[in-house]
Structures are given as structure tokens and as C-alpha cells.
Amino acid sequence: WFSRKVRAAGAIVLCETTVTELARDASGKVIGVHTDRAGGIRADVVILAEGVNGLLGTRAGFRKVPKPEAVALAVKEMHFLPEEVIAERFGLTGDQGCVIEAAGTISRGMAGLGFLYTNKESISLGIGCLVSHFAASLESPYALLDAFKDHPSIRPLIVGSEIKEYAAHLIPEGGFKAIPQLFGDGWVVVGDAAQLNNAVHREGSNLAMTSGRIAGEAIATIKSRKRPMTRDNLSLYKAMLDKSFVVEDLRKYKDMPALLHTNSRNFFMTYPRLLSQAAQNFVRVDGTPKIEKERATKAAFIKARSRWGLVSDAVRLALAWR
Ligand SMILES: Cc1cc2nc3c(=O)[nH]c(=O)nc-3n(C[C@H](O)[C@H](O)[C@H](O)COP(=O)(O)OP(=O)(O)OC[C@H]3O[C@@H](n4cnc5c(N)ncnc54)[C@H](O)[C@@H]3O)c2cc1C
């Protein structure tokens, strides 16, 4: 769909071509790219949209390798089932889809979530946790995924499916504070390569598309003014991006990554367990007077986190969320 749009706008889409290096002139200005095809491609400006690993930008010294606490590793499987079976299992009609997110023992205390979403003839099932937490815990991503698939709430949803695809991919999770330099002489960087990912809302595609569009608009404006693609002129891209929802949202949650990284056990294990117990206490009909249930729920929260811990967690979460 995108390729058709791009071609319709008059651009050339060059597939099966790897950019091996940025081409630069004697002053260091980016003037195009070298590829694994013969000859390079000259350009007024290069838009780096190379994804989270950002090898070209890193090699060129435009950004550092993302820190392990600023990237999550997600593993995912695609479970194929007939469309009507998916619709029946998830109670879907027409164009409806279903998303299930799982927090709790599934991530073994690491900052991360399990996820399931329905596509037309497949179900995407996966789990992602911070790389720094995988490194510290020595947990295996696939062991977590296997446990997720075996969970009594998930197993019946995928029974009889055929796994035809699987993937492992990094997700930028460092937020506002992890955004690298976004422009320079002859280059700008967009999307995951610029770490533009809103981990709180699990949005990345829309931030990638919007930053790409804004980069295009900034470059078109500079061209229309017949100005060169210098660092100074390309700062327009950052100025425009700063005014968009992309940076506004990331700025809003700028303290969340550090909070979740350093308190993952509480937020991804203790609280989901306590809330789950509280919900069970609330709905279970077992002849226990409600006042006793409420006392038990309150006592469980205080035992797990102490009064001071509960207040402190609430304040820190509220401050990071605002
Ligand atoms: C498991 C998972 C679930 C996700 N769920 C969601 C979701 O529900 N909602 C959401 O909004 N976002 C989601 N995201 C995030 C979203 O996928 C990314 O934010 C988005 O794809 C980033 O787009 P991008 O174009 O910047 O990078 P990418 O999609 O990574 O594209 C970069 C492209 O550049 C190519 N490339 C890299 N280097 C070179 C080179 N040297 N030469 C040529 N080509 C190169 C790569 O092959 C790749 O095709 C999810 C990500 C993962 C991993």
C-alpha cells in the first residue's frame, strides 16, 4: 500500500538493496548512500528510517547504540486459523478485532507484557521485556512465550492453530530521554531509528509514519525556499516534530521508563497479583462477609508494599504519568 502511494507520488522504490554506508563529502556532509549494488545514490538529503538497530546512524557517529534498559526484546508467533474460527472464539463480527494484554507473573518480574491480537486469518501472540532485565535474570524469551501459550486463558484461544511465522525484534522503550540527535548536515532520522516509540501506549507505527511525514514536509519547505540541506536548515524538522503529538506524548511520559525500569517487580508482578486477588475477593460468592473480604484485600496490599510503599508508589506513578 505504501509502495503504491510512494510510486504514485513519483518516487522510485528500490527493493532488495542494502545501504552499506552513508556517502559523505570532505566536510562530513551526507551526500547520499553506498549500497550493495554497483554505484551509489547521490541525494540532497538522506532520511534515515532504518529501524531500531540504526546501524548506519551508529556507524556514522550520529547516535549511540541504545542502552539495554532503553530497548525491549519482543518475541512473537503468528498462529494461523480459519477466519470463522477466530471470529467465533473471540466473538467478533465484521471488521472487529480483539487485543489482549497480559501483565503479571508472565514477565517474571521484568518490565514487560504479553500480548495477543487477532488478524483476519491469524493470531499474533508474543511477549516483550526490557533487554536489561533479560540480561540480569537470564530468562529466555522463548520460555516466557511458551509459558504464555500454555496459560489456561490463552491455550484454548490458539488450539489447533498452525504457526507459520515467528519473529524477534527490538522495540525502543527509552522514551523522550533516549531520543538521539535528529538532524545534521544532509541527514535526518525518523521512526524507530530515532527511538520515537511510546511504550506506555504501545504506539510506534504511527510515530514512525508521522515523523517521516514531518521530515518530508520540512525538506519540501527548505527546498521551496531554495536553501541547502545544512544542519541549520534541517533543524526545521526538529522544530516541527517538537510541536507534534509525537514529541508532546513522549515528553509527557519522560519519567516513566526510569520508573518502570527500576520498579519492575512492583509494577509488573506485585500489583497485578494484588489487583487480581482483589478482583477475585470482590466477585467470589463464598459466604464470607464483605467487610472481612475488604479487610483481607487491604491487609494484602499493606503486607506486600507497606503503607509508606503504597503512598510512595502512587505518588511516583502520578508524577511520572502527568
Ligand atoms: C512485536 C512488536 C509489536 C508491535 N506492536 C505495535 C503496535 O501494536 N502498534 C504500533 O503502533 N507499533 C507497534 N510496534 C512498533 C512498530 O512496529 C515500529 O515502531 C515501527 O515498525 C517502526 O517503523 P520504522 O519504519 O521506523 O522501522 P521498521 O519498521 O523497523 O523499518 C525499518 C526498515 O529499514 C530496513 N533497513 C534497516 N537497515 C537498512 C539498510 N542498511 N539498508 C536497507 N534497508 C534497511 C529494515 O529492513 C526495515 O524494513 C511493534 C513492534 C514489535 C517488534
Domain CATH number, residue 105 = 3.30.9.90
At a CB cut-off of 8 Å and minimum separation 6, what does 158 contact? 79, 81, 123, 125, 149
**Which residue type is seen at 112?**
G
Q: Which of 137, 152, 172 is the last residue of a domain?
A: 172
Ligand 1: residue of 131, 148, 171, 207 to mutate (most ligand atoms within 8 A of CB) is 171
- 156 neighbors 119 (Cβ within 8 angstroms): no
Which atom of ligand 1 is nearest the CA belonging to 56?
A: 41
User: Do 76 and 29 fall into the same domain?
Assistant: no
185 and 314, same structural domain?
no
Residue-level pLDDT at 129? 97
Q: Which residues pair with 137 in a beta bridge?
A: none
- N-to-C CA span, the chain: 37
Quick one: residue 260, left, alpha or beta (phi over 0 = left, psi -120 to 50 = alpha)?
alpha
Q: Return the number of other C-beta atoms located less than 10 Å from residue 25's C-beta.
A: 11
Closest CA to 147 of 178, 189, 102, 204: 102
- 64 alpha carbon – ligand 1 mean position (Å): 18
Please choose from 192, 200, 203, 250 the residue to mutate so as to test ligand 1's pocket, defined by most ligand atoms within 8 A of CB: 192
* CA–CA distance, 142 with 243 (Å, rounded to integer): 40
Residue 204 and residue 142 share a domain: no
CA neighbor of 199 nearest in space, from 72, 299, 28: 72
3-class SS of residue 306: coil
The pLDDT assigned to 246 comes to 98
**Sheet holding 183-184: strands in order across?**
46-48, 187-189, 183-184
How many structural domains is the chain composed of? 3
Write the residue with the smallest CA distance to atom 15 of ligand 1. 204
Give me the pLDDT at residue 176, please: 97
Domain boundary among 226, 252, 278: 252
Measured CA to CA in angstroms, residue 266 lies from 111, 223, 278 at distances of 10, 51, 16
CB 177 within 8 A of CB 186: no
User: What residues make up the domain containing 141?
Assistant: 68-172
The three cell numbers of residue 111 are: 518490565
CA distances, 268 to each of 240, 273, 315 (Å): 36, 9, 17
Beta bridge partners of 46: 187
Three-class SS state of 209: helix
Instruction: Record the cell numbers describing residue 67, joined without a space.
Output: 542502552
**74 Cβ inside 6 Å of ligand 1:** yes
Residue 192 lies in a domain: yes
Would you say the CB of residue 195 lies under 6 angstroms from ligand 1?
no
| Best probe residue, ligand 1, of 50, 124, 145 (max atoms within 8 Å of C-beta) | 50
The answer to the question of residue 187 being in a domain is yes
Residues 123 and 250: their CA atoms lie apart, in Å, by: 29
Q: Are residue 91 and residue 166 in the same domain, yes or no?
A: yes
Q: Ligand 1 centre from 152 Cα, in Å?
A: 31
Q: Is 126 in the pocket of ligand 1 (CB under 6 A)?
A: yes
pLDDT score, position 14: 92
164 and 77 in a common domain: yes
Mean pLDDT by 10 residues, the chain (322 residues): 94 94 96 92 97 96 94 97 97 96 93 96 97 96 96 97 96 96 98 96 96 98 97 98 98 94 92 96 95 96 96 94 87
Residue 201 sits in a domain whose CATH number is 3.50.50.60
Residue 173 C-beta-side C-alpha neighbours within 13 Å? 29
pLDDT at 261: 87
| C-beta 57 within 6 A of ligand 1 | no
CA 20, CA 29: separation in Å to the nearest integer? Answer: 17
In sequence order, what DSSP letters do the residues of 55-93 get, joined into one string? HHHHHTTSSPPPPGGGEEEEEEEEEE--HHHHHHHHT--
Based on the fold, state whether residues 54 and 99 are members of the same structural domain.
no
Q: Whose CA is nearest to atom 27 of ligand 1?
A: 51
What's the confidence (pLDDT) of residue 39? 81
* Gyration radius from the chain CA atoms: 24
3-state helix, strand, coil in the chain (%, to 5): 45, 20, 30
Is there a single domain that holds both residue 139 and residue 75?
yes
Q: Are 134 and 172 in contact (CB under 8 A)?
A: no
